[in-house]
Amino acid sequence: MDMLQVIFLGTGGIMPTRERNVPAVALRYKGEVILFDVGEGTIRQMNTAKLSPMKVEKIFITHFHGDHYLGLGGLIQTMNLWNREKPLHIYGPKYTFEFVQNFINSGFFRPVFDIHVHELGETRLKFGDYEIWSFKVEHGIPALGYVFKEKDKRGKFLPEKLKQYGLKPGPMLGKLEREGQIEWNGRIIRLEDVTGPRRRGVKIVYTGDTEPAERVRLFSERADLLIHDATYLSDEDRGDSYHSTVKEACETAKSSKVKLLALFHRAFRYTYDEYLREASKICREFGVNFVVPRDFDVLTYKSGEWQLQSLLEGGR
C-alpha cells in the first residue's frame, strides 16, 4: 500500500487560540490531498505544513458551524491567485449548495475555475482506489461524518503455487493480475489459485461534531483510525451542547473495536497538558489505544501500524 498520512491542521473547536486552530484534517494518499473541514485559517495551516492547495481536489464539510467551514473562502481565493484550472469538488450535508454559493459570491471576487458542490445524505462515493462514505451524526443541525475506505487488495503471489502451475514473473502473470484468470498449459488458472488471502484496505472515520450516536458506532466498526469529537472532559462541562466527552468517545472506540482513537475538537477551556492528563486516565480504564493530536501532528500508516510525529521543527 502506498503511504497514507493523516495531518491534523486544526485540532480544537469553537474558536482558535494561540496554541491550536479550529478543525481541519488533511488526508494525503497517492499524491492527492483530501480535506475534511476547513476552519478559519486553514490555508495558513496548510502553508506551515507545506501542503499545496493545488493538490486538493475534494473537500468534505461535516456541517455549517463557522469553526468548520469559514476557512473555505481563503483557500479558494488562494487557489484562484495561483491560477488554478482543475475543478474543485465540495461535499457536505443538506444546504451545502446554498451556503457555499453565498460564501464564494460575497465581496469583489469570483473563482475562475469550476467548483462543483454536492449535497450528501448517507452516500457511498467511489474514487479509484478508495471510497468515501457519509453518515448522519447528531449535532442539532444537518451534519455528517465520513469514512475513508481504501479498497481491499489482492493477496501476494505465492511462490509455491506459481511453481505448481508452471508460472513465472512475466507477461502471463501480468495478464492474470489484470484479467483475473488465464488459460495456461491447457487449464484455466484463476488469480485466487496463486495468491494468498486478500488484504484489507485501511479504514479511517472522522465524526465531525456529534453527540454519542449508534450510527457513529456502526460506521466505525473495526476502523484503523477513529477521529472522534471529544470536546469535553465531563458531562458537567458539556452541559446541553451537542458534543461528546472523552469517555463517550472511548466507549464508541471500544465497542467498535477501533485500532486507534484520536480525541479531537478539544474545548478551549482546557490546556493541552490538563486535557491529556485526564483523557489518559479515562482511556486507560477502557483499554483503548488513543492519541491526543496537536496541530501539525501527523499519523502515518505503515505495515498495519500508525506512527505519530510532528511536522514542527524539533518536534514537541
- Rounded Cα gap, residues 150 and 55, in angstroms: 19
Phi-psi region at 37: left, alpha or beta (left = phi > 0; alpha = psi -120 to 50): left
So what's the pLDDT on residue 1? 41
- List Cβ neighbours of 33 (8 Å cut-off, separation of 6 or more): 26, 27, 51, 52, 55, 56, 57
- Per-residue pLDDT, 177: 80
Average pLDDT over residues 22-44: 96
pLDDT band with cut points at 50, 70 and 90 for residue 314: low
Q: Which three cell numbers stand for residue 84?
A: 488554478
Q: What is the pLDDT of residues 137-148, one digit of tens each?
A: 999 999 999 999
Q: By three-state DSSP, how is residue 151 classified? A: coil
Task: Answer for the pair 215, 208: CB distance below 8 angstroms, yes or no.
Answer: no
Q: What is the mean pLDDT of residues 53-64?
A: 97
Residues making up the binding site:
63, 65, 67-68, 139, 209, 265
Binding-site residues for Zn(2+), in ranges, read 63, 65, 67-68, 139, 209, 265
* The pLDDT of residue 273 is above 80: yes
Which of 86-95, 171-180, 226-235 is predicted least confidently? 171-180
Mean pLDDT over 5-27 rounds to 95
Tell me whether residue 114 is one of the annotated catalytic residues: no
pLDDT score of 184 = 85
User: What number of other Cβ atoms are within 10 A of residue 253's Cβ?
Assistant: 28
Angle between helices 42-49 and 72-81 (to 10 degrees): 60
pLDDT band per the 50, 70, 90 thresholds, residue 315: low
Report the percentage of the chain scoring pLDDT > 70: 98
Q: Annotated catalytic residue: which of 2, 37, 67, 273?
A: 67
Whole-angstrom Cα distance, residue 305 to residue 224? 9
Alpha-carbon distance of 168 to 159, in angstroms, equals: 9
* pLDDT tens figures, 277-298: 999 999 999 999 999 999 999 9
Give the three cell numbers for residue 155.
493477496
Say whether pLDDT at 198 is over 80.
Answer: no
Whether the per-residue pLDDT at 90 is higher than 70: the answer is yes
Query: Domains of the chain, with CATH numbers?
Result: 4-153+199-310 (3.60.15.10), 159-192 (no CATH)
